[in-house]
Amino acid sequence: MLKMRAPIVTVLGHVDHGKTSLLDALRKSNVAEKEIGGITQSIGASQITTKATGPVTDSEESLTRRDGLRPGGKKITFIDTPGHAAFSKMRSRGAKVADIAILVVSADDGVKPQTKEALSFILEEKIPYIVAITKIDLQSADIEGAKRSLADIGVLFEGGGGNIPVVPLSARTKKGLDELLEVIILVSEVEDIKGDSAGELEAFVVETKKDKRGTLVSVIVRNGSIKVGDQILVDGVLSKVRGIFDSQNKSLREVGPGEPALILGFEKMPPVGSPIKHWKGEVISVKNPARLHIKDEGTKEMPNIIIKAQSSGVLEAISENLPVGVNIVGTGIGDVNESDIFSAKAGNAKIFVFEAKVPVGVARLAEMEGVKIETFNIIYRLFERIEELNSKKEKVVGKAEIIAVFPYENKKVAGGKVILGKLNRQDQIKILRGEKEIGEVKIISMKKEKKDISQASAGEEFGVIFEPQLAFTIGDVLVSVAK
């Protein structure tokens, strides 16, 4: 069911006009002091709760609620952006993250080039916005001058022929901060910003980092919810949510609409701005998560691929349009290098090159290492080639993991558990150790609880004797391939 949710707010404006100091004051933290050179270094997200104080002011009158009361106890989620450049990156990925923008303009400086760029972005995205005139505590502050410079670029304020709210404030003295928060809540009510925690997930990556726990990804949820244990798909990589934390590092069970959180469990760092979706298919657990396969029973295994492209835009276009389940073990921008060759060999992958070069020495190394490189200049040819490779793959019927090995007469018995599909006695069996194929075998005996069986299904345990007797061990994977 749709309910009012916390508005998601981005703060934009010219460098040194006080964006970070404003957020710092609102959050009552010390972010600005920690940032290198006083300039924001990365995107973060945080949430605050407003409080109700005093009667409605004149500047709020046109936005006030029907009951005439100031809103209090409401949550607001802030995106802390390093200028609007990173936010533009989100936009280029089709991510509409913010509900409301705050255009920050210094009272002693007025409109500057990045102010115009930020306003252009806000108007293009059609985001409701509020103007915050900062640094009003300075002796050189000229609030009316700042307003005039904004009017010159088309910003029309309430009471001046327009409907844009304006709030003069000082992050240092805290004057005007409560009024700004109240105006944000009033705008969110006018815009009727809502979300459904049980609805389809709409969430985005706003920051990534690593710590001793692993890869931590800062996310904001616009709709739906993310729970511990959920399987989520981001940038073509499937991950399982192992932990959720708020901005104070407190553990949460789930995060819902309008909420920011840190998510633990991502298998690799996703690009900022990437949309997050729930995955409802079946997942095979493998030793190396970077080479995760996503498939349903009866599908054919897709090839391992490393993609190299001349530009990031082309690389993204290729990556985002590959068939579901294509196992991308690496991507890169620029010419193919020696590192790519060794990565491809380790991951048993082909290298697909789009509009990039393959130096002669690198091509020679690839030949020596048995790595296949294929080059393309037309994008649909690349996709056709992937489909061709897929059509040549053998049909995987099932997979099982060896969980025990014990002797029987003069042979070894493998105790296994089916982890996907079915294992059929008559099928061809491949034994894999990680990404390496140990060899192919035939099942000459298959039993469950001392009874002969012809197949084992997902979740069932069994014992088998192979021919030939390869050097298999616990942890190896048996792949049943249909003849």
DSSP 137: T
pLDDT 10s digit of each residue in the chain, 483 long? 889 999 999 888 877 777 778 888 887 744 444 443 443 333 367 788 887 555 555 544 444 444 444 455 788 998 865 443 445 555 444 346 889 999 999 999 899 888 888 888 888 888 999 999 999 999 999 999 999 999 999 999 887 788 999 999 999 999 999 999 999 999 999 999 999 999 999 998 887 777 667 778 889 999 999 999 888 888 767 788 888 888 777 888 899 999 999 898 887 778 777 888 887 543 333 333 333 333 443 444 556 888 888 776 677 777 766 765 567 778 888 889 888 888 788 777 889 998 889 999 999 998 888 888 999 888 778 877 877 776 655 677 889 999 998 888 888 899 999 988 888 888 888 888 876 778 888 899 999 988 999 989 888 999 999 888 888 888 899 988 875
**What would the 3-class secondary structure string for 381-393 be?**
HHHHHHHHHHHHC
Boundaries of CATH 2.40.30.10 in the chain? 202-280, 396-481
Write down the residue that tokens 């973060």 correspond to: 44
The CA distance from 57 to 71, in Å, is: 12
Topology given in CATH for the domain delimited by 302-392: Rossmann fold (3.40.50)
CB of 391 closer than 8 Å to CB of 448: no
Report DSSP state, residue 138: S
User: Spelled out in words, what is the top-level CATH class assigned to the domain 202-280?
Assistant: mainly beta
Q: ∠225-229-233 over CA atoms, to 5°?
A: 65
Name the residue among 224, 242, 393 with its Cα closest to residue 325: 393
Would you call 56 helix, strand, or coil by DSSP?
coil
| Tokens linked to 17 | 């006009």
Contact by Cβ (8 Å): 373, 353 = yes
DSSP state of 469: -
What's the pLDDT at 302? 59
Q: According to the model, what pLDDT value does residue 435 have?
A: 66
CA distances from 16 to 103, 207, 286, 388 (A): 13, 22, 48, 54
Phi, psi of 66 (to 5 degrees): -60, -30
State residue 467 phi and psi, 5-degree precision. Answer: -140, 120
Strands (E), 32-95: 44-49, 75-80
Q: How many CA atoms lie within 13 A of 221 on its CB side?
A: 27
| Structure-block tokens of residue 346 | 């380790």
Q: What are φ and ψ of residue 58, in 5° steps? A: -60, -40
Residue 133 pLDDT: 95
For the chain, give every residue range classified as CATH 3.40.50.10050: 302-392
CB 467 within 8 A of CB 445: no
Distance CA 52, CA 44 (A): 26
Q: What is the pLDDT of residue 220?
A: 92
Element (H, E) at 275: strand 275-278
Do the Cβ atoms of 125 and 164 come closer than 8 Å?
no
3-state SS string over 236-268?
CEEEECCEEECCCCCEECEECCCCEEEEECCCC
Task: Please tell me the distance from the alpha carbon of residue 404 to that of residue 414, in angstroms, as a whole number.
Answer: 6
Q: Look at residue 94 in the predicted model and tell me its pLDDT.
A: 39
In one-letter notation, the amino acid at residue 57 is: T
- CA–centroid distance for 57 within its chain: 41
Read off φ and ψ for residue 197, nearest 5 degrees: -65, -20
Domain ranges in the chain with CATH number 3.40.50.300: 3-194
CATH of range 396-481; options 3.40.630.30, 1.10.8.60, 1.10.8.420, 2.40.30.10:
2.40.30.10
Amino acid 393: pLDDT: 58
Separation between Cα atoms, residue 23 and residue 31, nearest integer Å: 8
439 in Cβ contact with 431 (< 8 Å):
yes
Q: Which residue has 């390093």 as its token pair?
A: 82
DSSP type of residue 228:
T
CATH of domain 3-194: 3.40.50.300
Does the predicted TM-score (pTM) go above 0.75? no
DSSP 139-154: TT--HHHHHHHHHTTT
